[in-house]
Amino acid sequence: MSALLAMIRRDLLLVMRRKSEVLTALFFFVVVTSLFPLGIGADTALLRKIAPGVIWVAALLSTLLGLQRMFAADYADGALEQIALSPQPMVLLVSGKMIAHWMVCGLPLVILAPIIGIQFDLDTSSLYILMGTLLLGTPVLSLLGSIGAALTLGVRGGSILMSLLVLPLYIPVLIFGAGAVYANSVGLDTSGHFSLLGALLILALAFVPWVTAAAVKIAIE
């Protein structure tokens, strides 16, 4: 656990030195979600209807913006090779980088979600559902995205290739996350959506760190 916490702390300290990269993703999320109410106007019924999809797509794309730097900087300066040579399990160290990525790119979206939801005239219960789905779904986005980030290390045009690899994996999270908010807004039960999001999170936690660690080792070799 000390190695895991040390890796999280290291990545967070590095992020604090490059605040512009983090602010770019958050600024993108806020701007994209704010443009829709301005463009559509005061039709509150339509805003409430499109809110789940708009917010979730913006969250997905803003998370995608931060994936490239998860391993790329360490790969470029040779730090990733030193991490691979560490006596600590590679899976544990890779997991620390995933957690740090979620804390920087996913957790702020959960905190900003109520403010964004108010622009779409979402009621209190829908705002809670939105925050809950983002809290379960954004870690899955970081976990699945780490696979694409690891597979495209050192590849020319890697960011485009990573997007093509990762976006299809994000579709189930997008469907269940946005579907839960919409179901709540029309008075339907949302427990099924939360159960499926929880199942996706458990499966991702169980398998993705090992897959990503293997992909990182292949990229280094």
Each residue's pLDDT tens digit, 71-110: 777 777 777 778 777 788 888 888 888 898 898 888 999 9
Give percent above pLDDT 90 in the chain. Answer: 24
Tell me how many degrees the CA angle 74-167-33 measures, rounded to the nearest 5.
95
Range of the domain at 131: 2-220
Distance between CA 150 and CA 75 in Å, rounded?
A: 10
Distance between CA 165 and CA 149 in Å, rounded?
A: 9
Give the predicted TM-score (pTM) of the model. 0.88
pLDDT value of position 157: 65
**135-141: average pLDDT:** 93
Q: Where are the alpha helices (DSSP H) in the chain?
A: 2-17, 19-40, 44-65, 72-77, 79-84, 90-101, 107-119, 124-151, 158-185, 191-220
Q: Tell me how many domains the chain contains.
A: 1
**Sign of the torsion angle spanned by Cα atoms 90, 95, 96, 98:** positive
Fill in the amino acid letter for 126.
S
Q: Is 61 left (phi over 0), alpha (psi -120 to 50) or beta?
A: alpha
Q: How far is CA 28 from CA 24, 118, 151, in A?
A: 6, 18, 25
The residue length of the chain stands at 221
pLDDT value of position 131: 93
Q: Residue 6 pLDDT > 80, yes or no?
A: yes
